[in-house]
Amino acid sequence: MYDVIVIGSGPGGYVAAIRLAKLGKSVAVIEKAQTGGTCTNVGCIPTKAMLTASHLYTDIQKKAARFGITVTECEYNLAGIMKHMGKVVAASRKGIQFLFKKNGIDYYEGTAVVQDRETVKIEETGKELQGRNLVLAHGSTPVVFPPFSDVEGIWTSDDVFRMDAIPKELVIVGGGVVGVEFSTFFAALGTKVHLVELLDHILPTEDPDVAKVIRKSLTRQGVDIKEGHKVSAVAKTAEGYVCTIDGKDGSQHEVTADCVLLVVGRRPVIPDDVKQLGIQIGRGVVTNDAMQTSIENIYAVGDIRAQIMLAHVAMAEGIVAAHTIAGQSKHMEYSATPWVIFSSPEIAATGLREREADPEKVEVAKFPLMANGRARTMQERDGFVKILADKATHAVLGMTIVSPNATDMIMEGVLAVRYGLTVDQLVEAIHPHPTLTETVLGALEVAEGMPIHL
Residue 401 is predicted with a pLDDT of 98
Q: How far apart are CA 359 and CA 67, in angstroms?
A: 43
Strands 169-173 and 192-197: parallel
In angstroms, the Cα distances linking 388 to 157, 187, 356 are: 34, 33, 10
Looking at domain 2-142+267-325, its CATH architecture is 3-Layer(bba) Sandwich (3.50)
Q: How far apart are CA 5 and CA 234, in angstroms?
A: 44
CATH of 148-264, one of 3.50.50.60, 3.40.50.720, 3.30.70.100, 3.40.1280.10: 3.50.50.60
In angstroms, the Cα distances linking 162 to 47, 81, 93, 178, 254 are: 12, 12, 17, 17, 27
Q: At a CB cut-off of 8 Å and minimum separation 6, what does 413 contact? A: 336, 338, 348, 349, 350, 351, 387, 396, 398, 399, 401, 440
Q: Which of 447, 356, 363, 353 is nearest to 402 (CA)?
A: 353
Q: How far apart are CA 184 and CA 168, in angstroms?
A: 14
Residue 400 is predicted with a pLDDT of 98
Helices 78-102 and 44-63, packing angle to 10 deg: 140
Positions of CATH 3.50.50.60 in the chain: 2-142+267-325, 148-264
Question: Do you know the residue count of the chain?
Answer: 454
In angstroms, the Cα distances linking 64 to 56, 61, 71, 324 are: 11, 6, 7, 53
> What sign does the CA torsion over 84, 90, 91, 92 have?
positive
Q: How far apart are CA 33 and CA 41, in angstroms?
A: 10
Determine the topology of domain 338-448 in CATH. Answer: Enolase-like; domain 1 (3.30.390)
Q: How far apart are CA 49 and CA 340, in angstroms?
A: 15
Query: Mean pLDDT of successive 10-residue segments in the chain (454 residues)?
Result: 98 98 98 95 96 96 93 94 97 98 98 97 97 98 96 95 96 97 98 97 97 97 97 95 94 95 97 96 98 98 97 98 97 97 97 97 98 97 98 98 98 98 97 98 97 92
Q: How far apart are CA 10 and CA 14, in angstroms?
A: 6
Positions marked active-site: 433
Positions of CATH 3.30.390.30 in the chain: 338-448
Sheet strands side by side (includes 224-227): 224-227, 192-197, 169-173, 259-262
Give the chain's radius of gyration (CA, Å): 24
